[in-house]
Copies of this chain bind each other. A is one copy, B any other.
Amino acid sequence: MSASIAATGRAVFSPLGGAAAPDGAAVAARSGESAVPDGAAVALNVGDTWLRPFEAGRMEALRCAEVPGLHRYCDTQGIAALLEAVVQKLRAQGARGAARETVLACAGATSGLACAVSALADPGESVLLLAPFWPLIRGVVRSQRATPVELPFFDRIATPGEATAALEAACPPGCVALYFSNPSNPTGRVLAPEMVEALADFARRRDLWILCDEVYEDYAFQGECVSAARFAPERTISAFSFSKAYGMAGNRCGYLLTPNASVCDGIHRASVHSAYHAPTAAQWAGLRALQSGADWLARARSFYRQAGEAAAAALKLPAPEGGCFLFFDVAARLDERGMTGFLEDCWQRGVLLAPGASSGQGYESWVRLCYTAVPPQEAEQAARRVAELL
């Protein structure tokens, strides 16, 4: 772009829906585990957790004297100990293709997925997104000059047969990849194994990569949550994150499982030229999470499940099957002010929600509520305040 043609107007950056993520500097710490401020609106628009990381996984537990090279560059693929722990974790889950040369530490799952799109999709090629989707993915695809194609799915496709028919109808020529999150952000749905198998079969038939967003894998409350890699390991790039699972969203660290070393290399190259490498300290924190975070995780899962069930009950919705969100249609409540007015009404009642439009076309009258951003009781109270508006 010529320097004389500056971008016009302020863009809306927040994938979180209108309001930006809360600024750390503006969030007063509360005693105990919660970092939620007193007195402010309850920010359920952000996909975050109210829990602090377990003690050994906090920055203050990473000591120069104990952690070599803590503030220095590291291997751009990831520190060896983390890669090894990731391989062990994935193999224990049944991922036989997990090996030192097929996993990549990335600067958050966002960076990992952006690098995967960069490596696997040429400009103008399409990526099929199962909607409603994680609000960032559409921009991630566009930012890599590829074309997002949206397929409404999670709220309406019930059977593998319906899935295959819908995919056949929606998948354009020049499509190179299929993206979906499971458990689903924002719907909270956990896809049944036979559904994931149908997606994998379709991808194989059409020779698509599968970008399988598994950042909520640890928060499946109902049903069996399986990876597409179980059915199509030769074409699945799985994205994982320490952000959601261990309360380390600010750390910006996740990892990818790729089908083979050459795909991993291609994504690694994109990572080197955009992030250089995942933050070193965050990788050590992630390693500690894999080594000793199990108890914290079990406790968090219990909190989150309780919060999800209570918030859903308050809103007369089915309990979420997984993830951190409720996603529901408020069309009947919208007046001439549209979604903006509804979000303002929620805000006046002290609750921030995210608009559904960022999760796909056709979801303009839906909203997303993150029930893990505050302690369960606060989430339930906030859900009640929203319910009163409906």
* Assembled-state Cα–Cα distance A272/B209 (Å): 24
Nearest-Cβ distance from residue A75 to partner chain B, whole angstroms: 4
Beyond A143-B270, A250-B280, is A24–B70 a contact (Cβ under 8 Å)? yes
Contacts of A265 in B (CB 8 A): 7, 9-11, 13
Which residue in chain B gives the minimum CB-CB distance to A26?
A: B80
Residue on B nearest A283 in the bound complex, by CB: B24
Integer count of this chain's copies in the complex: 2
Assess whether A27 is interfacial by the CB under 8 Å rule. yes
Report which of B118, B143, B250 forms a contact with A71, defined as CB distance below 8 A.
B250
For A142, give the chain B residue with the smallest CB separation: B273
- A residues near B (Cβ < 8 Å) are 1-4, 6-11, 13-15, 20-29, 35, 46, 48-49, 52-53, 58-77, 79-81, 107-108, 110-111, 114, 118-123, 125, 136, 139-140, 142-143, 145, 176-177, 203, 207-209, 234-235, 247-252, 259-263, 265-266, 268-270, 272-284
Q: Which residues of B contact A123 (CB under 8 A)?
A: 123, 145
Q: Which 9 A-B pairs have the closest CB atoms?
A: A24-B69, A250-B280, A143-B273, A7-B266, A23-B75, A24-B74, A3-B235, A25-B80, A139-B273
10 contacts between A and B (CB under 8 A): A3-B234, A6-B262, A25-B74, A26-B68, A58-B64, A69-B250, A73-B249, A123-B123, A136-B273, A143-B269
The answer to whether A136 touches B1, judged by C-beta atoms less than 8 angstroms apart, is: no
Q: How far is the CA of A38 from the CA of B340 in the complex (A)?
A: 62
Which residues on B sit within 8 Å (CB–CB) of A25? Answer: 68-69, 74, 79-81
Q: With A58-B71, A71-B247 in contact, do A107 and B252 touch (Cβ < 8 Å)? A: yes
Q: How far is the CB of A319 from chain B (nearest CB, A)?
A: 26
Report which of B72, B234, B251, B269 forms a contact with A281, defined as CB distance below 8 A: B251
Q: How far is the CA of A76 from the CA of B279 in the complex (A)?
A: 17
List of B residues within 8 angstroms of A234 by Cβ: 3
- List the B side residues contacting A250 at CB < 8 Å: 69-74, 279-281
Contact call A269/B11, Cβ cutoff below 8 A: yes
**Are the C-beta atoms of B280 and A24 separated by less than 8 Å?**
yes
Contact B70 A274 (CB under 8 A): no
- Are B120 and A273 interface neighbours, CB within 8 A? no
Check A10–B143 contact: CB distance below 8 A. Answer: no
Q: State whether A27 touches B71 (Cβ < 8 A).
A: no
Q: A200 CB to closest chain B CB, in angstroms?
A: 12
User: Given A235-B3, A262-B9, A280-B24 in contact, is the A274-B272 Cβ separation under 8 Å?
Assistant: no
Residue from A114, A121, A203 whose CB has the most chain B CB atoms within 10 Å: A114
Tell whether, in the assembled complex, residue A10 and residue B262 are in contact, meaning their CB atoms are under 8 Å apart.
yes
Residues of B within 8 A of A110 (CB): 273-276
Which of B28, B66, B279 is A68 in contact with, Cβ under 8 Å? Answer: B28
Residues from chain B with a CB closer than 8 A to the CB of A260 are 6
B46 near A73: Cβ-Cβ < 8 Å: yes
Q: B59 to A208, Cβ gap below 8 A?
A: no
Shortest beta-carbon distance from A175 to chain B in Å: 10
List B contacts of A63 (CB < 8 A).
59-60
